[in-house]
């Protein structure tokens, strides 16, 4: 039962079993760490890939937005130019119509004076009945 060094065999076996268990636990723990690291790396790679996809999508959306904004600005500038042209055209038409109205008003006043003079003097009156 006792070994040469004075340590009982059972005690030595228990210590060896303990060392084996510790090494086994260490190996398991090491492989668990490696497994965790591998899982973390896979998760990291997956997240990195998603991040790259999101960045590409973001760049594409930004490009689309800038293009639509530029197109919208161009369209707005075109509409503004068309409206400005329309306003100028309406202003010219308004001026022409005002000029015509002034001419017609002058003519009406002149005709009214002529009529009033004829009525006052009796000139130009045809007293003969229509047959």
**72 pLDDT more than 70:** yes
Confidence at residue 29, expressed as pLDDT on a 0 to 100 scale: 64
Give the rounded distance of the alpha carbon of 62 from its chain centre.
8
Of the candidates 6, 24, 4, the one whose C-alpha atom is nearest the C-alpha of residue 16 is 24
Rounded to 5 degrees, what angle do the CA atoms 116, 121, 123 make?
95
Q: What pTM, to 2 d.p., does this model score?
A: 0.41
Task: Please give the average per-residue pLDDT across 72-101, as a whole number.
Answer: 95
For 10, residues 6+ apart whose C-beta sits below 8 A from its C-beta are 1
Contact at 8 Å (CB) between 34 and 25? no
User: For residue 92, is it left (φ>0), alpha (ψ between -120 and 50) or beta?
Assistant: alpha
Model confidence over 4-54: pLDDT tens digits? 555 555 655 565 666 666 666 666 666 888 888 999 999 999 999 999 999
Confidence at residue 59, expressed as pLDDT on a 0 to 100 scale: 96
- The residue written with tokens 């017609």 in the block is 104
Model confidence over 101-131: pLDDT tens digits? 999 999 999 999 999 998 888 765 666 666 6
């Amino acid at each position: 039962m006792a070994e040469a060094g004075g340590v009982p065999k059972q005690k030595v076996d228990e210590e060896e079993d303990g060392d084996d268990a510790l090494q086994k636990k260490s190996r398991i723990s090491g492989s668990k760490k490696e497994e965790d690291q591998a899982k973390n790396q896979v998760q990291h790679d997956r997240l990195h890939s998603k991040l790259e996809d999101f960045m590409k999508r973001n760049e594409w959306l930004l490009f689309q937005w800038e293009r639509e904004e530029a197109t919208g600005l161009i369209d707005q500038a075109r509409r503004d130019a068309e409206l400005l042209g329309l306003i100028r055209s309406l202003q010219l038409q308004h001026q022409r119509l005002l000029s015509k109205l002034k001419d017609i008003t002058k003519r009406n006043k002149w005709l009214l004076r002529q009529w009033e003079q004829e009525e006052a003097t009796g000139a130009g009156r045809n007293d003969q009945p229509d047959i």
